[in-house]
Amino acid sequence: MLVQCFDGQPMELNLVNAPHLRHTKKPFIYLDHYLEAGWSSVYASSKSRIVIKFAAVPKKDKAELERQLNTEKAAYKKLSPITGWVIPRLYGEYRWFGGRALVLSHEGQSLSDLEKFGSLPLIERWDVNVIQRKHHADFFGD
């Protein structure tokens, strides 16, 4: 696929562990929103409803960023039975000229976007709490 961040040039992303097909038409996704930068640089496309987490942050160790990407990928795989509602679907791990990236669906609203978690309606706070407990139990074997 070809992607272009609003502040950059178009770049090619290739699915990890998939054959490289030279003559197939590749979708173009314009990433028009910058969401956050923790362990990754996160961009989203409002039109395609796609989020891409690039394991690339200036002055951070590339090996550590890729370890964190692998940890997050494992968490999404464990959460796959409940993805697509609040938890994004993991579409895959991709290579790009700067390293690796996760491509995800854009689901719901990030808790970091909310002024306060308490501003959510009670039923949504309960749902998120249940999901967090399930994630912790499934991922850490509790």
pLDDT digits (tens, 9 = 90+) for 1-41: 889 888 888 988 888 887 766 666 778 999 998 887 677 88
Structure tokens at 82: 């409940």
Mean pLDDT of 91-115: 79
Reported as a pLDDT band with limits 50, 70 and 90, residue 66 is: confident
CB proximity list for 51: less than 8 A, separation 6 or greater: 35, 42, 43, 44, 45, 88, 103, 104, 105, 106
Q: Is the pLDDT of residue 137 over 80?
A: no
Tell the CATH topology of 2-108.
Phosphorylase Kinase; domain 1 (3.30.200)
SS3 of 40-57: CEEEEECCCCEEEEECCC
Taking alpha carbons only, the member of 92, 70, 68, 96 closest to residue 4 is 96
Contact 73, 55 (CB under 8 A): no
Domains of the chain, by residue range, sit at 2-108, 110-142
Mean pLDDT of 92-103: 90
